Amino acid sequence: MSYYSDTNPTAMRSFFIIFTVFASFLILASCKNTKNQDRPPVSDAEIDINVLTENLSHPWELVYGSDNKIWMTERGGKVSWIDPVTGSVNLVANLTEVVSRGEGGLLGMALHPDFVNTPEVFLAYNYLKGGVYTEKVVKYRYNGTSLINPSILIDNIEANTFHNGCRLLISNDNKLFISTGDAGDKPLAQNMNSVNGKILRLNLDGSIPADNPFPGSPVWSLGHRNAQGLVFGNNVLYSSEHGPNADDEINIISKGKNYGWPNVEGFCNENAEKDFCQANQVVEPLKSWTPTIAVSGIDFYTQDYIPQFKNSVLMTTLKDNTLYQLKMNAAGSSVESMTEIFRGTYGRLRDVCIAPDGKVYVSTSNGSNDKILVISKKN
Ligand SMILES: [Ca+2]
Ligand SMILES: [Ca+2]
């Protein structure tokens, strides 16, 4: 028996309609007031997209250095820096040891946070170790013209023609984060004896930090399929991760947590996933995409230059040919809205970096005549 069974249903319905309209009016009016009084409107900047440089081959990593140069890897083995004004490309290394197969090759790069005084360059790449396709992370020193003094920080990461990760990121407290793929061997992502399908954390000399979650292990988080985006935004570590046919993800990476792969894809919404999620306290993504869009490099916008980008993750996509803006809430804990900054025209997009002045640089990944694009404010 319904609670309202003794009242006239038509009268009740009319009352609710009138009440809802009145309440909506009040909410709208109060929103408008708050906006006008507390937040003077900041109008969106009109943006320009231009080609900074071209004739590149799979530019994989873009890092804006504290030396005001755009540092770039190309998958075949080249490391260069680009003058952000003229677009001229200056080769500093062509690593002949790199073996590029399928999605493998020279991948992620990070620079020492105090690069001007400590010119160290960290590189992740695939090579043949006794004939076996393998991945390692190597630190080099930049002497002003080329990369010298290689020292291996971590080796024996399983590699394949796909799912090799491998984004590098150095935190302000000088820890190196490394995203590794499952190299096509799914169970590795849940295997704590493997460094594959993980986010790893090392000191800058390759040693394991004493405060890592699993003593003596480089593993910071597990259960990753193939994360190719990694960035800090207001001290929150974000990662983008390729899903299989479904469920590309954007995650917040927390110490010692399990992100589910291969037992969980995207959210813990299937019955089989729910048990695993409960047993392993799986962290769900902030957002997932089905069908997949092939999420790749990400960076975080804190500048005022293009006001509508502030407090957003900017994310490239390969399959979707689109640069996305994921506007975060103030705490950085959820995605408030998603906007296409541009779609199409330039094909697949691999990575993005943001300069301190607020200009945004994006690399394409089409394999021939790849470009670095610059997004600036229209004059
Ligand atoms: Ca996941
Ligand atoms: Ca799911």
The per-residue pLDDT for 9 is 46
Q: What is the pLDDT of residue 25?
A: 46
Beta carbons of 57 and 368 less than 8 angstroms apart: yes
The H or E element containing residue 232 is strand 227-233
CA of 321 to the centre of ligand 2 (A): 25
Supply the DSSP symbol for 258: B
Report pLDDT for 28. 44
**Rounded Cα gap, residues 99 and 232, in angstroms:** 30
pTM for the structure as a whole = 0.89
Q: Please give the structure tokens belonging to residue 100.
A: 């590029």
Query: Minimum-distance ligand to the CA of 265?
Result: 2
| CA atoms of 210 and 202, how far apart (whole Å) | 10
Q: How many A from CA of 189 to the centre of ligand 2?
A: 16
Give the C-alpha separation, 339 to 110, whole Å. 28
Residues with CB under 5 A from ligand 2 (ion): 265-267, 269
Structure tokens that stand for 275 in this block: 């048990």
**Separation of alpha carbons 218 and 178, rounded Å:** 10
Judge whether 265 and 290 are in contact, CB under 8 Å: no
> What is the pLDDT, as a whole number, of residue 31?
40
Can you list the domains of the chain with their CATH numbers? 49-377 (2.120.10.30)
Q: Which residues of the chain have pLDDT under 70?
A: 1-41
Amino acid at 76: G
Over the stretch 103-137, which tens digit does the pLDDT of each residue have?
A: 999 999 999 999 999 999 999 999 999 999 999 99
Q: Measured in angstroms, how far is the CA atom of residue 280 from the centroid of ligand 1? A: 12
C-alpha of residue 311 to centroid of ligand 1, in Å: 23
Q: Do the beta carbons of residue 120 and residue 111 sit within 8 Å?
A: yes
Cis (ω within 30 of 0) for the bond into 277? no
**From ligand 2's centre to the CA of 266, what distance in Å?**
4
Instruction: Work out the number of other CB atoms within 10 angstroms of the CB of residue 119.
Output: 17
Residue 352, strand partner residues: 362
Pairing of strands 349-354, 335-343: unpaired
- Residue 86, both tokens: 């003229």
pLDDT of residue 379: 82
State the distance from the centre of ligand 2 to the C-alpha of 94, rounded, in angstroms.
42
What's the gap in Å between 269 CA and the centre of ligand 2? 5
Predicted local distance difference test score (pLDDT) of residue 42? 76
- In whole angstroms, give the CA distance from residue 213 to residue 216: 9
Amino acid residing at 13: R
279: enclosing H helix or E strand: helix 271-280
Report the candidate in 104, 106, 220 with the shortest Cα–Cα distance to residue 171. Answer: 220
How much of the chain, in percent, has pLDDT values that exceed 70?
A: 89
Q: Taking a C-beta distance cutoff of 8 angstroms, is the pair 73, 106 a contact? A: yes
